Amino acid sequence: MNAALVNPPGRQGPGAMSAALVEQLDLVLAERASGVLPGERRAAGRGVGTELAQIRPYQAGDDVRRLDAAASARTGVPHVRDYVPERTLTTWVVLDVSASMAFGTADRLKSDVAEGVALVVGRLAVRRAGRVALITCGGPAKTLMPPRGGRPALIAMRKGLQGVAPDGEGQGDALAGALRRVALLTRGPGLVAVISDFREGEAREPRVGAEAGAARAWVLRDFHSPNLIWLGERSGIERVGIIDFQDAVRGPVAYDVVSLLQDARIDVPEALELALLTRYIKTRREADASFDSADFAALYALMSAQRNTRLLGTFARLNRRDGKPQYLRHQPRIWTYLNRSLGHPTLAPVQAWYAANVPAPTP
């Protein structure tokens, strides 16, 4: 593994790929490489192959099996046949190892899937007596495995495929830079396989200060009453069970606290919310003397604004598109939570934007 990369939490490695999918990918690669028939791609130099390069007089050391009987009889001098060697194209695998590849589902991370696809592409390229090269992008350091063939190529690929960039590191235009690098390195025709989630081109709003430097951890996003179950036979915190955690992602640590204390489906009085938030902050400070209460409070307000804004839109969509008007009964509660969070000084610009652009809710 590249020393600049890390194994993301939850990494399981590439899963099994069905033989049918591999065969389909093999056909796609063959088509992209302009067919699979021997002799379709010309290589520099002469050697063993099916496409004739020239007929020339025999020289000491030539393979007698390449003697051309007709030319030798016609000229009275032994002649041999030279062929253009058969070679497949070099396959360049451009692999995205940016931090966004550490996300995924309970079954596989995106980096797990990418690793499996890269290995399959490499095996298929080598199986056709070709060569494969690997370029990684999106990490703190650039990695290049020059074109190789046979088993050594697959061993080198496997070593270079493990890990992603640490969160917050990497370059924003890494994929475009990697493709420019491939264009400079290739000589003659080649096949380029890009394995990426293509996130670097997305337009992103600048982060509010508290979120930009926030510690990140696994968050469930649905950490609220409908997703919790009471297990009375247990003791302590283990009495609270989680029903569904399939949408877990890495994000700011305050997000699940907001999900619980501003439950979208039941009313949480402001006094109770503040009491529980104070208890959480006190516990964090007792466990970590460097914990900053003010920064966390700002982050809590920001995550509240983000979550409740999203829920307003989600529930409106469920009503209009999916015919589920029952979600609209939660809208007044969500507006109350949103207004609470917008009162934090950090979100004053956001509050002003809401006042100017978002109509006030109607009863």
d(CA 291, CA 287): 8
Say which residues have a Cβ less than 8 Å from residue 93's Cβ, sequence separation at least 6.
Answer: 118, 121, 122, 132, 133, 134, 135, 157, 193, 195
Tokens coding 16 = 């099994």
On average, the pLDDT of the chain sits at 79
For residue range 247-288, what is the model confidence (pLDDT) as tens digits?
677 888 899 999 999 999 899 999 999 999 999 999 999 998
What pLDDT does residue 44 have? Answer: 45
CA dihedral 111→116→118→120, nearest 10 degrees, is: -170
Judged against a pLDDT cut of 80, whether residue 107 lies above it is answered with no
What pLDDT does residue 149 have? Answer: 82
The confidence band for 196, taking pLDDT boundaries of 50, 70 and 90, is confident
Nearest CA to 4 among 80, 97, 70, 89? 97
For residue range 112-150, what is the model confidence (pLDDT) as tens digits?
888 888 888 888 887 765 788 898 888 877 788 888 888
What pLDDT does residue 246 have? Answer: 67
Percent of the chain exceeding pLDDT 70 equals: 80
The per-residue DSSP string of 114-160 comes to HHHHHHHHHHHHHHTT-EEEEEEESSSS-EEEEEEEHHHHHHHHHHH
Judged against a pLDDT cut of 60, whether residue 185 lies above it is answered with yes
Judged against a pLDDT cut of 70, whether residue 351 lies above it is answered with yes
For residue range 2-57, what is the model confidence (pLDDT) as tens digits?
557 777 766 777 777 777 777 777 777 666 655 444 444 444 444 444 456 678 89
Task: Please tell me whether residue 249 adopts helix, strand or coil conformation.
Answer: strand
Nearest CA to 220 among 197, 240, 200, 239? 240
Q: How would CATH label the architecture of 19-35+89-195?
A: 3-Layer(aba) Sandwich (3.40)
Structural domain spans, the chain: 19-35+89-195, 51-84, 212-357
Alpha-carbon distances of 132 from 26, 39, 111, 154, 155, rounded to whole Å: 14, 19, 20, 8, 11
CATH fold label, 212-357: Aminoglycoside 3'-phosphotransferase; Chain: A, domain 2 (3.90.1200)
Q: Identify the residue whose tokens are 């989630």.
A: 197
DSSP label at 275? H
For residue range 299-340, what is the model confidence (pLDDT) as tens digits?
999 999 999 998 998 898 888 888 899 999 999 999 999 999
Q: Which residue has the higher pLDDT, 72 or 34?
A: 72
d(CA 286, CA 25): 55
The confidence band for 167, taking pLDDT boundaries of 50, 70 and 90, is low
